[in-house]
Structure 1
Amino acid sequence: MTAPTDQEPRRITTRRDGWVTHVVDAARQQPLSLAVAVVVAIYPGPLTERILAALAAVVLIGVAERRLGWVRALIAAGAGVVAAGTAAAVTTFAAQRIDADWATDLATHPTFAPLTPSLAALMAASAVVGPLWRRRIRLLGFAAIIALVLYDGRASSIDALLGALAGLLVGRLLREGGAAPVAWARSSRHEARILLSGVVALTAVGPLITLSAHAPVGLLAPLGGLFRDRYAVSRAALERCATRPLFPAQPPLSETCLRDSALAGAHGPGTIALSVLPLVTLLIAAALIRRGSRLAVLVAIGVDLLLGILALVYYAVLPLAVDPETGVRPDRFRVLVVHGLSIAAPLAVALLLLVFLRHFAVETPKRVRRAFAATIVAGFVVLLAVYLLVALSYSDDFRPRGQVTRLILLAPQRFVPVGFIGPEHLGPVPMGGLARVAFDSVGALFWLLLAVALLVAARRAERLETSGDDRARVRAILRRGSAGSLSHLATWPGNAYWFTPDGLAAVAYRRVGTTAITLGDPLGDPDRRPEVVALFASWCDDEGLTPVFYSVSADLRGAFDRIGWTSIQVAEETTIRPREFRMQGKKWQDIRSSINRAAANGVRAEWTRFAELPPAILRQIEEISEAWVADKALPEMGFTLGSVEEMDDPDVRLMLAVDGDGRVLAVTSWLPTWRDGVVVGWTLDFMRRAPETMNGVMEFLIASTALRAQADGIEFVSLSAAPLATQVPASASPSQTERLLTFLSRTLEPSYGFRSLLTFKLKFQPELEPLLMAYPDPLQLPVIGTALARAYMPTLSPRRIPSLLRRGGQG
């Protein structure tokens, strides 16, 4: 158990006056947040809005108080209110002279939003938090506010946006050392998924904002309005039809009145579900995108594309036809200007997801994808067939009558939210009976099927990843026999697997284009590795792939020579033997000093697993990782270098440096090597430290791990290898391969410091074991080099490669 920090809430006592003590303590710690909560609670306005604003003040301004102090938090909140009020007053003055709905709303409604001081204080506090939370607060916060502005558009939402912008500026000015330079903090793959998930969720929540708002006037309100009930006009027409003479015999209702009567009853559970379920599907996709599902990204792209196309048809195609009643053609320019953003918004989100699709390297298993696609296609065909069968069987129940051809052609409308069609463009409508049931339900059933199928596919993919798929077979092979210190990398997401015919050996590889790059030695019996190399090379040749064995042990050089491949050393693995680990002599002075310094500062080493950590510790680890990523000029690397995601594995152990206040100073992760079901070695993977921690904290963690391994009887502790870094002196006449690897090493060194990393590891006096890269054809070297770069940096966009190459050439 760690000691509670200052930010943890105090436990409420069980004494009668415990709640009084708690309130008094809270008032002392957060006086500003409580004062603002009281003010906004008594401010005139709807009760629900005042309650939410008071809660937001307690939470958001409370965060700002703890980060900035109450004086600076007050300055930020006040500046937000003043700036928003001033800008709103100017806007109101101008709006009074503009003839538009949104201008009228601005001029006639109050200009103060109770949320404004809370948002301003929070945005100011974002300037002093770590990169992880700074990016989340700003991007997701402003995305939510902008969604309110676009889908609601009333004065209160604009006021909140102006206040948040003012708070952001104040935060930059109040930050110690002056305003921070304007720079974009690079997002890791994990964080990119979170942010893209938030964007997709907002596209689903935005229309709901319009549906719940009173008289929304935002630029995207027309898009949200497409999910409303569009049949109000038909009900009015029905009232006119009901007003008929009472003598002497009432004539039968006209076909038009009968159709209006049918339309008036169309707003039932089926049509409501058909309007909401596409948004629910987007919310489900957003949740799965956060977990890295590539299938969910593709579904979100498809849904947003569909909504964008439907908005285009409704707002830009249908209105351009001549009105049959007036014979007037609408102004095309005005239609496109007013509704252009409603058309572009979902299309832009789909494009954004497509651009960042590379962040989702974990594919859903092929059989799961096929089952999902077959379910959706079959469901659509069956439901469409059922509707057509029922509709044609009961065609006399539709109004207008005698339009069977139109009934068939417009059948796909039943799968489109009713608001995107409108009563004036809707085809024949059934009066009731079985035809009405089919009319109302088939579309909702299809979207429900899509949402459920997506959830089922995600669950099946997870089950296959953890039990029934190839990764489970690989884990079984790893536990049987030693396959090298890097063998656990084979279990990481994004890998593909090839198995020998008997299933007792395998090769884990990363496919990049037409190149298959292996991760370490073949898996299985070490005596079979030469045979496995030859079989895998033959399989790659049959598949049209170029095989590259990367980071394999030097004892396979003979196997590569026998099949005529070229091999070259690309790294040196650094290995410690715990039985011989003594830390004696002058060479170990730095290591001993780091251990003594940790003891003097009350820093302890904790050997644990990711799943055993409390949420507070997990958040600290994420912040440490994001701070490290934000300082790099290049994207977070993968392939043989793990991230936070790879630590979430029950077989992986963590060694943490934790101070007396429970603060994580540094973190390392260790991958197992097995023999006969027993761990015989640990290999260093993830290694990050918090900014401004004590010197030598990493030396302390590695030494602590070696001592732990010594006590547990572990055979070796590998400090792994620094990619593209060796101590082998360059030859006088380097080969083309050596020049390529030297070029890649020089290109990446300024950002990732692989040579410096190797120098650091040499402090532990390790054994050096060469690691090789082997390939069949030297003419493929340019392709291999590009594949290696893409494997290590899968999120590196093609447009950045030329600048990367220029930097490498100038190094």
Structure 2
Amino acid sequence: MTAVDAATARDRLGGAVRSTVAFVRAQPVSVVLAALLVVLAVVSGSFVHGPGERLREAVGAGLDPFDDRGFWPLTLGSVLFASDRRELVLAVVAVLVLVGVAERRIGSRRALAAYVVTAVAATGVGVAVQAVGRAVGQPWALEVAAESTLHPFTPALGTIMTVSGFVGPLWRRRIRLLGFSALLAFVLYDGHPSGLYALVGAVVGLGFGRVLAGPPARRGWLRSSHHEVRRLASTVVAVTAAGPILTLLARSPVGPLSPFGLLFGDVLSGRSPADLCAIALHTPLDRQVERADLCARAAVLGSIDAVPTVALSLLPLVVLLVAAWFLRRGRRVALDVAVAVNGLLALFAVLYYVVMPVTGTSDGDPRRHLVAHVLLTVVAVAVPAGTAVSLFVLRHHFGVGAGVRRRLVATVVLGSGAVLAAAFAVVGWVGRASFVPSIDAAALAADVPERFVPVGFVGLAGLGPVPVGGVVRVAFEWTGPLWWLVVLVALVAGAVRPGDLRPDAERARVRELVHRGAPGTLSHMALWSGNSWWFTADGRSAVAYRVVSGIALTTAEPLCPPERLREVTLEFARWCDDQGLAPVFYSVRGELSPFFDDLGWTTLPVGEETVLHPATFSMTGKKWQDVRSSLNRATKNGVRAEWTRHADLRPAVARQITEISELWVAEKNLPEMGFTLGGLDELRDPDVALMLALDADDTVLAVTSWLPTWRDGEVVGWTLDFMRRRPDSMNGVMEFVIASSALAMKEQGVEFLSLSAAPLATTGPADGPATQTERVLTFLGRVLEPAYGFQTLLTFKKKFQPEFVPLVMAFPDPVQLPAIGTALGRAYLPDLSVGAVVRLVRTVV
């Protein structure tokens, strides 16, 4: 090894040592606790094969171990041991991550207190709950009474729940909703006491966090952005879909919903012909036939334990998991499917837990414990039904692709179901002689719906006659799986947009036109989600638009050279007329009003864009005093400006931007606005630039996003879009960010900087009497001002001494004014119901 290599090795070793020391100093409690878990596992000899029987009986939590133990505090050792090496590794990771986060957020002493309090309380309360259950004869408590439970995850989970009381609404909501969703899935579908202890520990952690942090500054539900609601809804649907899968994978599941989860399993697996014959002999009297026929049916029944049966059991869960993936992307089709499938699962639960016990066609007799059965029924129905209802209530957050595709998917799914049901009925009736026992028309009609339901929900005793072979047997086995495959394919086909699986051809064409250059400052908005695109025959010009209530609202001006403006506008108008749409060019430059007047169109002012010219930007004079003071204050406080893009952000900085945005949305009394106002999704575009204000600790104090305007592949200007600040940031931080942006653009040599227009706000009243649409927009601006502060925003922009450029709306038919006003209201506030919009228009017209 050369001297250089040796020096490099020493430097790397020294760097690793320094990083390790810094890590230990930042979270000493979590490191010590993780080391304690490993040391105890090694010393006790449980590192390789898990704790032995004597050690488990000495420290394990549970009823029988607690009764037999002379020194009960040993039970607290149940949080310091894992059942096997895999669980030990996961527990160590959980402690290092979750307790480590707590240390960094609330300090080592509080984190250690949370760890100890939740460990002691969870173990004591958990055993007490089991004791009460055993005393009243609760079946689950009796079944797990002899278990000696180790639960090393409980205090780590309790600690992170304690921390949730110290974080902002974004992470507080995420930690609690996702944490409890996962815990409830384990408790309900796996059911071993470790899940109960973890759930109790999480609840105790919530209470302990409330004691340490005090009540939150704001009570009640805080509004979430579309982006956040989609993430949370997607996770909840995935967790509830994974619950039955958890049951199928668990060793001896005993959870309250484990029977429900097992309904998705292969109930025929492992059943001998003798077992199936015995089950068949318990068929209700009104369906009794000769014993020989029953056992013959049982033999045929055993032969259907094959791929179709397993596929029919698992495909509904696969459909839900795929729907969860698309819910994260806001797909309305995925919402429809998730609501429908969860509704079906709730219906299946009613069938299994209510209808079949009453009719005597279930495989067991859950009525032996009436109270437990009622509670089980309520929970089994409430989980999928509650998920379906919650998704339906939140449907306004899932508006992507809510048009023709949605109706087409519904038609395909329902139509294919009807066709397959009819086909099976016809094939079954033609081949009715192959059924064992014989089948009549009524029995065949009753059997048709069962083809689409997992066999576990029907039950072995509830299954009707089974065909011996041939085409009838193929139809009997494959009708249900084939339909669920159609649902899955239709979901994917309806929810996938071109950009999901391959380059978005249309968006790529639009981006090429945007880069080539288009008049105005808002051309980049043409690329936003929610837009549709119309192209000229030669593909060299386009119009970005969105249809709202029969109105085609364009996003600014056509993407075309100035000399083609008249041609493209008229061609787009003719196309809209052919489609039964009314074209409205929104937020176009006021200087184009004479052009639209020549076409015989009407124009109305909709805002004033504030434009600066970086080449002449200077902050001299009394009018700039506030801006200069903000720059000086930022320098004094160690705040710096950083010009970057989202793809280049450090993960910690990106998370802070998301949190700041969610805090802003949560403070509003009205839903997040859209149309010409971008959000988190829009600032992730690779062409969009960000200007951040960060302090010495890399805390994001404010963030702005800037949309580029191109000419011949070069950026000639930037337009302000997204603008958020941390609530506790220094005064004047936004002035600092805007001024820093102007200075950065001056160095870039761009032609203009647009602070954009404040929607529904102008510097003064329009000349002449107000039209109906102007009155609608004025009323909207007045109503929304307290929540969104558009007029206040316009006043803020005046500090930078901008040039005011009028923006107008152009449309061909003045008769459409009330409809245009309604469409604009719904474009900016898509969450408003149709009735609310109609009442709004009636109020001001």
Q: Does the alignment pair 1:187 with 2:219?
A: no
Of the three residues 739, 742, 752, the one matched with 1:716 is 752
Q: Does the alignment pair 1:612 with 2:648?
A: yes
1:28 — aligned with what? 28
The one-letter amino acid paired with 1:419 is G
Distance in 1 (alpha carbons) for counterparts of 2:451 and 2:93 = 43
- Residue 129 to residue 23, structure 1, CA distance change in 2 (3 Å): closer
1:685 — aligned with what? 721
After TM superposition, the score normalised by the length of structure 2 is 0.81
- Residue 466 to residue 793, structure 1, CA distance change in 2 (3 Å): farther
2:518 — aligned with what? 482
- Residue 786 to residue 108, structure 1, CA distance change in 2 (3 Å): farther
Contact conserved, 1:12 with 1:22, CA < 8 A, in 2? Answer: no
Structure 1 residue 214 displacement after superposition? 5.2
Q: Report 1:119-130 matches (<5 A).
A: 119-130=157-168
Q: Report 1:241-260 matches (<5 A).
A: 254-260=292-298
- Residue 157 to residue 30, structure 1, CA distance change in 2 (3 Å): closer
Distance in 2 (alpha carbons) for counterparts of 1:721 and 1:324 = 66
The one-letter amino acid paired with 1:755 is Q
Distance in 1 (alpha carbons) for counterparts of 2:841 and 2:163 = 39
Of the three residues 130, 136, 147, the one matched with 1:98 is 136
1:657 — aligned with what? 693
Contact conserved, 2:333 with 2:406, CA < 8 A, in 1? Answer: no
Gaps of 5+ in 1: 1-10, 243-251
Of the three residues 411, 415, 418, the one matched with 2:455 is 418
Q: Does the alignment pair 1:509 with 2:542?
A: no
Of the three residues 772, 779, 785, the one matched with 2:808 is 772
2:70 — aligned with what? none
Gaps of 5+ in 2: 1-10, 39-76, 280-289
Structure 1 residue 295 displacement after superposition? 2.5
2:165 alignment partner, SS class: helix
The one-letter amino acid paired with 2:223 is R
1:245 — aligned with what? none
Distance in 1 (alpha carbons) for counterparts of 2:804 and 2:18 = 63
1:426 alignment partner, SS class: coil
Q: Report 1:786-805 matches (<5 A).
A: 786-796=822-832
Structure 1 residue 312 displacement after superposition? 3.2
1:635 — aligned with what? 671
Structure 1 residue 574 displacement after superposition? 0.6
Structure 1 residue 185 displacement after superposition? 2.1
Distance in 2 (alpha carbons) for counterparts of 1:634 and 1:259 = 62
Q: Does the alignment pair 1:13 with 2:38?
A: no
Of the three residues 155, 160, 182, the one matched with 2:198 is 160
Distance in 1 (alpha carbons) for counterparts of 2:397 and 2:527 = 19
The size of the alignment, in residue pairs, is: 786
2:171 — aligned with what? 133
The one-letter amino acid paired with 1:664 is V
Structure 1 residue 573 displacement after superposition? 0.4
- Residue 146 to residue 180, structure 1, CA distance change in 2 (3 Å): farther
- Residue 514 to residue 460, structure 1, CA distance change in 2 (3 Å): closer
Structure 1 residue 751 displacement after superposition? 1.3
Distance in 2 (alpha carbons) for counterparts of 1:89 and 1:179 = 31
Q: Does the alignment pair 1:468 with 2:505?
A: yes
- Residue 154 to residue 236, structure 1, CA distance change in 2 (3 Å): farther
Q: Report 1:163-178 matches (<5 A).
A: 163-175=201-213
Q: Does the alignment pair 1:80 with 2:127?
A: no
> Of the two structures, which has the highest relative contact order with CA contacts closer than 8 Å and spacing of 6 or more?
1
CA offsets 1:577-632 (integer angstroms, 9 cap, x no match): 12222323332333334444444444443333222333333222212211222222
Structure 1 residue 323 displacement after superposition? 6.0
Contact conserved, 1:747 with 1:805, CA < 8 A, in 2? Answer: no
Contact conserved, 1:632 with 1:751, CA < 8 A, in 2? Answer: yes
Distance in 2 (alpha carbons) for counterparts of 1:691 and 1:13 = 42
The one-letter amino acid paired with 1:348 is G
Structure 1 residue 374 displacement after superposition? 8.5
- Residue 36 to residue 724, structure 1, CA distance change in 2 (3 Å): farther
Q: Does the alignment pair 1:275 with 2:288?
A: no
Structure 1 residue 260 displacement after superposition? 1.9
2:592 — aligned with what? 556
1:755 — aligned with what? 791
Which deviates more from structure 2 when the two are superposed, residues 474-483 or residues 189-198? 474-483
1:493 — aligned with what? 529
The one-letter amino acid paired with 1:620 is Q
Distance in 1 (alpha carbons) for counterparts of 2:659 and 2:586 = 32
Contact conserved, 1:36 with 1:57, CA < 8 A, in 2? Answer: no
CA offsets 1:675-707 (integer angstroms, 9 cap, x no match): 233322211111122333333333333233323
Distance in 2 (alpha carbons) for counterparts of 1:20 and 1:676 = 51
1:484 alignment partner, SS class: coil
Which deviates more from structure 2 when the two are superposed, residues 793-802 or residues 583-592? 793-802
1:261 — aligned with what? 299
Report the RMSD for the aligned CA atoms in angstroms: 4.3
Contact conserved, 2:138 with 2:372, CA < 8 A, in 1? Answer: no
Structure 1 residue 641 displacement after superposition? 0.7
Structure 1 residue 279 displacement after superposition? 1.2
Contact conserved, 1:37 with 1:55, CA < 8 A, in 2? Answer: no
2:615 — aligned with what? 579
The one-letter amino acid paired with 2:30 is Q
Distance in 2 (alpha carbons) for counterparts of 1:694 and 1:783 = 44
Distance in 1 (alpha carbons) for counterparts of 2:670 and 2:277 = 68
Which deviates more from structure 2 when the two are superposed, residues 231-240 or residues 62-71? 231-240
Which deviates more from structure 2 when the two are superposed, residues 156-165 or residues 277-286? 156-165
- Residue 233 to residue 680, structure 1, CA distance change in 2 (3 Å): closer
Contact conserved, 2:498 with 2:505, CA < 8 A, in 1? Answer: no
- Residue 462 to residue 318, structure 1, CA distance change in 2 (3 Å): same
Contact conserved, 2:28 with 2:108, CA < 8 A, in 1? Answer: no
- Residue 432 to residue 125, structure 1, CA distance change in 2 (3 Å): same
CA offsets 1:284-316 (integer angstroms, 9 cap, x no match): 221121122233222323322332333333334
Structure 1 residue 533 displacement after superposition? 4.5
CA offsets 1:776-797 (integer angstroms, 9 cap, x no match): 6666555444432321222345
CA offsets 1:708-729 (integer angstroms, 9 cap, x no match): 3333332211110111111114
The one-letter amino acid paired with 1:427 is G
Structure 1 residue 133 displacement after superposition? 1.6
Contact conserved, 1:281 with 1:451, CA < 8 A, in 2? Answer: yes
1:634 alignment partner, SS class: coil
Q: Report 1:729-748 matches (<5 A).
A: 729=765, 734-748=770-784
2:686 alignment partner, SS class: coil
- Residue 407 to residue 47, structure 1, CA distance change in 2 (3 Å): farther
Contact conserved, 1:488 with 1:673, CA < 8 A, in 2? Answer: yes
Q: Does the alignment pair 1:203 with 2:203?
A: no
Q: Does the alignment pair 1:725 with 2:767?
A: no
The one-letter amino acid paired with 2:34 is L
1:764 alignment partner, SS class: coil
Contact conserved, 2:31 with 2:96, CA < 8 A, in 1? Answer: no
The one-letter amino acid paired with 2:514 is L
2:104 — aligned with what? 66
Contact conserved, 1:569 with 1:773, CA < 8 A, in 2? Answer: yes
Structure 1 residue 163 displacement after superposition? 1.9
After TM superposition, the score normalised by the length of structure 1 is 0.84
Q: Does the alignment pair 1:522 with 2:558?
A: yes
Contact conserved, 1:747 with 1:804, CA < 8 A, in 2? Answer: no
Structure 1 residue 199 displacement after superposition? 1.6
Contact conserved, 1:301 with 1:350, CA < 8 A, in 2? Answer: yes
Distance in 2 (alpha carbons) for counterparts of 1:215 and 1:192 = 35
Distance in 2 (alpha carbons) for counterparts of 1:662 and 1:16 = 23
Contact conserved, 2:821 with 2:841, CA < 8 A, in 1? Answer: no
- Residue 461 to residue 412, structure 1, CA distance change in 2 (3 Å): farther
Contact conserved, 1:259 with 1:400, CA < 8 A, in 2? Answer: yes
Distance in 1 (alpha carbons) for counterparts of 2:638 and 2:395 = 45
- Residue 484 to residue 321, structure 1, CA distance change in 2 (3 Å): same
Distance in 2 (alpha carbons) for counterparts of 1:534 and 1:730 = 28
- Residue 737 to residue 68, structure 1, CA distance change in 2 (3 Å): same
Distance in 2 (alpha carbons) for counterparts of 1:375 and 1:733 = 52
Contact conserved, 1:32 with 1:74, CA < 8 A, in 2? Answer: no
